[in-house]
């Protein structure tokens, strides 16, 4: 499968790494609020070359890439390679961070120790769209700007512009990203020594799924933010009086009298669980890398019983780079980090939902796609699952596809969520009934 086919079949995640190979390729938001590559008049040779860096084209899988970089380290079937496994938080950065503020801490330390000249992270920027706001990768060159990018952005992003910056500006870089984005960067480094020399640290976030820009619009409407400009927004404002997995979406607007209005809605009140896969790009249903296996570190939420009741947040970490490993240990000794080792089984347990979807669920989706073009995966197709499991997977496919169409229609017809709800309610009802039935069956089988 080359990038032409990746785009045609809907598997493009919009990472923009192919544009670093061929400037004829453009990365644009489509009508479903997803970044997608457009080939324009790319030559055949360039398509072949760009396909070598695409995370969904036929090239090298995560196991092969990780073997090239991290050989000799311990290996786990789901987690990939690892030097060290930790749980903890940064004393200074926990407040602004999504979970324990670990990525923010690491970028600060890399600047402090002159390991990097630039960091590439996501942060809110003023944009020329109806909401006047966008969340994009940006290049920073100072410690002062690191916390402006803290927290998780459940929003489509692309590397296309920042890779251009790297090409034009020599120096050492750290770059944040979700697993498929890191895979694309590793593939680019393999092909082009310029990126290999300049990108020193790949800082990974464990990823369950990405969301489209329509998800942001959905959240704004659920929080009753009027149509128009948004001054700032946060997908994960901490609610320290509650559990770590109970957080708020927050948006701030300013009226004509310069008065600020803050809108918040809790993720519990939204009552859509992430397993439903609403507003998710198709590529995420054909992804088998949960733990950013090609990144130098993978950080995730510590949503385990021993940490969940602390609403200030805890991160779990899979560390693969020796310098980052030492940075964490030094942080513990100096008192900047609260850190302890954690067992691999706990790391796996924390992502069990995501792993089920990307192992058994993926095997069934691959089975359903037999005869059609799909990205090649490390998981084999299988239909050897209980009926209810298969029904749940099929419903998730329907929910994903229908939600993006329903919200695209809703934004065309006007404000509110009436159209979206009318379309979605029957599917959501069936999904919830199915889940209740599954829970009941599980409870009675003991
Ligand atoms: C789309 C997405 C899905 C995720 N799914 C899961 C999951 O299923 N399970 C789980 O345990 N954790 C998941 N995470 C990771 C989790 O939300 C936290 O990001 C992680 O625990 C790190 O927290 P922290 O406090 O250490 O990082 P912070 O100190 O908050 O730093 C996070 C850094 O990542 C950058 N960043 C934020 N969003 C993006 C993005 N979309 N792309 C690239 N860089 C970004 C920020 O600019 C910041 O520099 C997901 C994150 C994202 C963005
Ligand atoms: S490299 Fe990224 S942007 Fe380009 S086609 Fe592949 S997924 Fe899409
Ligand atoms: S689920 Fe996989 S494909 Fe989707 S954004 Fe995350 S890493 Fe990329």
> How is residue 130 written in tokens?
């109806």
* CA of residue 154 to ligand 1 center, whole Å: 8
Angle at CA of residue 289, ends 158 and 74, nearest 5°: 125
> What span, in angstroms and rounded, lies between the C-alpha atoms of 6 and 377?
14
Ligand 3 pocket mutation, candidates 156, 157, 207, criterion most atoms within 8 A of CB: 207
Ligand 3 pocket mutation, candidates 179, 181, 185, 211, criterion most atoms within 8 A of CB: 179
- Give, using CA atoms, the residue closest to atom 8 of ligand 3: 180
pLDDT in tens, the chain (446 residues): 999 999 999 999 999 999 999 999 999 999 999 999 999 889 999 999 999 999 999 999 999 999 999 999 999 999 999 999 999 999 999 999 999 999 999 999 999 999 999 999 999 999 999 899 999 999 999 999 999 999 999 999 999 999 999 999 999 999 999 999 999 999 999 999 999 999 999 999 999 999 999 999 999 999 999 999 999 999 999 989 999 999 999 999 999 899 999 999 999 888 777 889 999 999 999 999 999 999 999 999 999 999 999 999 999 999 999 999 999 999 999 999 999 999 999 999 999 999 999 999 999 999 999 999 999 999 999 999 999 999 999 999 999 999 999 999 999 999 999 999 999 999 999 999 998 888 888 888 75
Contact 298, 316 (CB under 8 A): no
> What span, in angstroms and rounded, lies between the C-alpha atoms of 99 and 205?
11
Nearest ligand 3 atom to the CA of 210 is 5
**Strand 297-301 to 199-205 pairing:** parallel
> What span, in angstroms and rounded, lies between the C-alpha atoms of 144 and 27?
30
Contact 261, 250 (CB under 8 A): no
> How is residue 147 written in tokens?
């916390």
Q: What is the DSSP string of 69-123?
A: HHTTSEEETTTEEESEEEEEEETTTTTTSSSS-HHHHHHHHHHHTTS-SEEEEEE
Among all chains, which residue has been given the structure tokens 């998800």?
215
Question: What number of other Cβ atoms are within 10 A of residue 299's Cβ?
Answer: 26
Ligand 2 pocket, 12 CB below 6 A? yes
* CA of residue 122 to ligand 1 center, whole Å: 10
> What span, in angstroms and rounded, lies between the C-alpha atoms of 244 and 310?
6
How many helices and strands (H and E) does the chain possess? 16, 15
Q: Residue 191 phi/psi, 5° resolution?
A: -85, -35
pLDDT of 92 = 97
Ligand nearest to the CA of 15: 2
pLDDT of 284 = 97
Please list every protein residue whose CB sits less than 6 Å from any atom of ligand 3. Answer: 13, 178-180, 207, 209-210, 283-284, 287, 289
Among all chains, which residue has been given the structure tokens 């995420």?
284
* CA of residue 206 to ligand 1 center, whole Å: 7
pTM, two decimal places: 0.97
Q: Residue 90 phi/psi, 5° resolution?
A: -90, 130
> What span, in angstroms and rounded, lies between the C-alpha atoms of 446 and 281?
37
């Amino acid at each position: 499968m080359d990038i032409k086919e990746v785009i045609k079949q809907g598997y493009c995640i919009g990472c923009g790494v192919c544009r670093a190979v061929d400037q004829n390729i453009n990365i644009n938001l489509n009508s479903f609020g997803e970044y997608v590559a457009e080939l324009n008049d790319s030559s055949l040779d360039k398509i072949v070359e760009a396909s070598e860096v695409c995370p969904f084209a036929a090239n090298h899988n995560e196991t092969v890439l990780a073997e090239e970089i991290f050989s000799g380290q311990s290996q786990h079937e789901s987690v990939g390679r690892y030097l060290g496994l930790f749980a903890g938080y940064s004393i200074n950065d926990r407040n602004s961070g999504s979970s324990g503020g670990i990525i923010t801490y690491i970028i600060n330390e890399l600047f402090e120790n002159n390991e990097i000249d630039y960091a590439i992270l996501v942060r809110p920027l003023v944009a020329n769209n109806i909401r006047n706001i966008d969340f994009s990768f940006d290049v920073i060159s100072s410690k002062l700007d690191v916390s402006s990018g803290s927290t998780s952005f459940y929003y489509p992003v692309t590397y296309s512009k920042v890779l251009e910056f790297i090409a034009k500006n020599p120096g050492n870089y750290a770059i944040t990203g979700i697993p498929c984005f890191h895979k694309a960067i590793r593939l680019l480094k393999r092909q082009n020594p310029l990126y290999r020399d300049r990108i020193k640290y790949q800082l990974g976030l464990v990823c369950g799924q990405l969301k489209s820009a329509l998800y942001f619009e959905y959240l704004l409407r659920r929080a009753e933010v009027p149509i128009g400009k948004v001054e700032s927004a946060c997908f994960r404002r901490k609610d320290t009086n509650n559990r770590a997995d109970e957080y708020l979406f927050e948006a701030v607007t300013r009226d004509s009298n310069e008065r600020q209005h803050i809108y918040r809605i809790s993720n519990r009140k939204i009552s859509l669980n992430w397993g439903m896969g609403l507003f998710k790009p198709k590529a995420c249903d054909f992804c088998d890398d949960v733990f950013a296996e090609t990144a130098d570190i993978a950080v995730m939420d510590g949503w385990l019983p021993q940490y969940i009741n602390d609403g200030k947040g805890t991160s779990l970490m899979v560390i693969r780079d020796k310098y980052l490993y030492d940075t964490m240990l030094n942080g513990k000794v100096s008192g900047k980090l609260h850190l302890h080792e954690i067992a691999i089984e706990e790391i796996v347990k924390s992502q069990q939902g995501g792993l089920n979807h990307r192992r058994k669920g993926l095997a069934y989706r691959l089975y359903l796609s037999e005869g059609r073009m799909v990205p090649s995966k490390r998981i084999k197709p299988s239909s050897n699952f209980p009926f209810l499991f298969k029904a749940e997977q099929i419903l998730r496919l329907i929910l994903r596809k229908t939600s993006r169409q329903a919200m695209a229609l809703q934004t065309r017809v006007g404000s509110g969520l009436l159209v979206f709800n009318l379309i979605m309610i029957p599917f959501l009802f069936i999904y919830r009934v199915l889940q209740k039935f599954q829970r009941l069956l599980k409870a009675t089988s003991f």
